[in-house]
Amino acid sequence: MSKILVVEDEDIIRSALKRLLERHRFEVSEAASVDEALSHLKNTRFDLVISDLRLPKAPGTDLIEKTKGTPVLIMTSYASLRSAVDAMKLGAVDYIAKPFDHEEMLETVNRILAKQQAQQPLSEIPPVEDDLSEAGTMGMIGHCAPMQMVYQRIRKVAPTHATVLIQGESGTGKELIARAIHNYSRRKAAPMISVNCAAIPETLIESELFGYEKGAFTGANTNRSGLVEAADGGTLFLDEIGELPLEAQARLLRVLQEGEIRRIGSVQSKKVDVRLVAATHRNLKKLSSEGEFRLDLYYRLNVMEIALPALRERGDDILEIADYLLSLACERMGRPNLRLSKHATDAITQHDWPGNVRELENAIERGVILAEGNLIHTDDMGLVVERSAGHRPMQSTQSQSTRPSVQSALPSVSMSMPSSSQRSPARNDGTKAPDDLSLEDYFQHFVLEHQEQMSETELAQRLGISRKCLWERRQRLGIPRRKASSKKSG
The CA-CA-CA angle for residues 132, 133, 135, to 5°, reads: 75
Beta-sheet strands, E only, within 178-249: 192-196, 235-239
CA distance 321 to 426: 41
The one-letter amino acid code at 266 reads S
Give the closest residue to 304 by CA, choosing from 477, 387, 181: 181
The CA-CA-CA angle for residues 89, 93, 96, to 5°, reads: 95
CB 358 within 8 A of CB 475: yes
CA distance 483 to 464: 21
| Digit-coded pLDDT (tens) for 183-228 | 999 888 888 999 888 888 888 888 889 888 887 777 777 888 888 9
| Residue 223, burial from CB neighbour count under 10 angstroms (0-12, 13-18, 19+) | middle
Give the closest residue to 357 by CA, choosing from 321, 323, 308: 321
Report domain 311-416's class.
mainly alpha
CA distance 345 to 433: 35
Give the closest residue to 84 by CA, choosing from 220, 182, 227: 227
- What is the fold, at CATH topology level, of the domain defined by 142-309? Rossmann fold (3.40.50)
Q: How many CB atoms lie within 10 A of CB 7?
A: 25
CB 269 within 8 A of CB 261: yes
CB 197 within 8 A of CB 238: yes
Going from N- to C-terminal start, the domains of the chain cover: 3-113, 142-309, 311-416, 419-490
CA atoms within 13 A on the CB side of 299: 4
First to last CA, the chain: 65
- What is the fold, at CATH topology level, of the domain defined by 3-113? Rossmann fold (3.40.50)
Give the closest residue to 196 by CA, choosing from 166, 175, 172, 215: 175
- Say which residues have a Cβ less than 8 Å from residue 444's Cβ, sequence separation at least 6: 406, 410, 411, 477, 479
Q: Do domains 142-309 and 311-416 have the same CATH topology?
A: no
Q: How many CB atoms lie within 10 A of CB 275?
A: 23
Q: What is the DSSP letter of 219?
A: T
CA distance 388 to 79: 54
- Asked whether the whole model's pTM tops 0.95, one would answer no
DSSP string, 223-234: -B--HHHHTTTS
The one-letter amino acid code at 375 reads L
The one-letter amino acid code at 274 reads V
Write out the chain's pLDDT in tens, 490 residues: 688 999 998 888 888 899 888 887 788 999 999 999 998 888 888 889 999 988 888 888 889 888 877 899 988 875 455 676 777 777 888 888 777 778 778 888 888 887 766 553 433 333 333 334 444 567 788 888 899 999 999 999 999 989 999 999 988 999 999 999 999 998 888 889 998 888 888 888 888 898 888 877 777 778 888 889 888 889 999 999 999 999 899 989 989 988 888 888 888 888 889 999 999 999 999 999 999 999 999 999 988 999 999 999 999 899 999 999 999 999 988 988 899 999 999 999 999 999 999 999 999 999 999 998 889 999 899 886 554 333 444 444 333 333 333 333 333 333 333 333 333 344 444 444 444 445 666 777 788 888 888 888 888 878 777 777 788 788 777 777 765 444 444 4
- Say which residues have a Cβ less than 8 Å from residue 69's Cβ, sequence separation at least 6: none
Q: Express the helix, strand and coil content of the chain in percent, nearest 5 each.
A: 45, 15, 40
| Residue 100, burial from CB neighbour count under 10 angstroms (0-12, 13-18, 19+) | middle
